Amino acid sequence: MPRIVDHDAQRERVLEAAWAAFSTHGYDGVSMRSLATGLGVSTGSLYHYFQDKEEILRVMLPWAARRDAGRAAVNVQGVSTPDRLDVLLAWMEAHELPLARTVMLTFEVKRVMAPEVAGPLIAEALSTWKHALGALLGLDPAGAALVLSMALGVLVHRELDPNGPGPSAHRALLSPLMARRD
């Protein structure tokens, strides 16, 4: 009797494994064969879900943005709006490594893909985060874009300088701005 496989769940499993591999070893450091080995499946099985490694990366960037924004949203559920920024920054600090890895994967997308492919993917990921931040923090699109810029800056800076200021250092800067809105 043939085994019934949940196609969407398997694609999700491949994306999660690919995210871990690409974010650890870089896009060029991962082959379809090594990805299949890590998943315990045949290489042919991967090709059933994705055409090639580039398609995995194309699908992965907006997927990771939706995944991480969803996790952030769950974290602030039930928190009053004035306290959400503090809670969100604490969550960001606790998840700094995976968030930074996703940011670095965004640079991989920009590096390995044609601009006409990379541009819309990056725009979709940024839009996902701007909408999420706007909803989570009660910000207009411009305010959400500024908070996103700060968050990306913190993550990139810490990637370049691990001793640089982290998300919690920015609470003192952002909290008065959020308080003035109320």
**Mean pLDDT on 44-59:** 93
CATH number assigned to the domain comprising residue 112: 1.10.357
The number of folded domains in the chain is 1
Task: Note the pLDDT tens digit of each residue in 75-96.
Answer: 888 888 778 888 888 898 899 9
Give 167's pLDDT tier (boundaries 50, 70, 90).
confident
Q: How far, CA to CA in Å, does 117 sit from each of 14, 54, 110, 123?
A: 21, 11, 9, 10
**In a domain? residue 30:** no
Q: Which of 34, 32, 31, 39 is nearest to 13 (CA)?
A: 39
Q: Is residue 88 part of a domain?
A: yes
- Segments in 77-170 forming alpha helices (H): 81-94, 96-112, 115-137, 141-160
User: Does some domain include residue 2?
Assistant: no
Q: What is the pLDDT of residues 114-146, one digit of tens each?
A: 999 999 999 999 999 999 999 998 899 999 999
Domain that holds residue 139: 53-181
* Inside any domain, residue 128: yes
How many alpha carbons lie under 13 Å from residue 29 in its C-beta half-sphere?
A: 10
Look at phi and psi of residue 4 and say left if phi exceeds 0, alpha if psi is from -120 to 50, else beta: beta
26 in a domain, yes or no? no
For the CA atoms of the chain, what is the radius of gyration?
18
Does 174 map to a domain?
A: yes
Residue 24 is assigned to a structural domain of this protein: no
For residue 18, being part of any structural domain is answered with no
CB atoms inside a 10 Å sphere around CB 116: 7
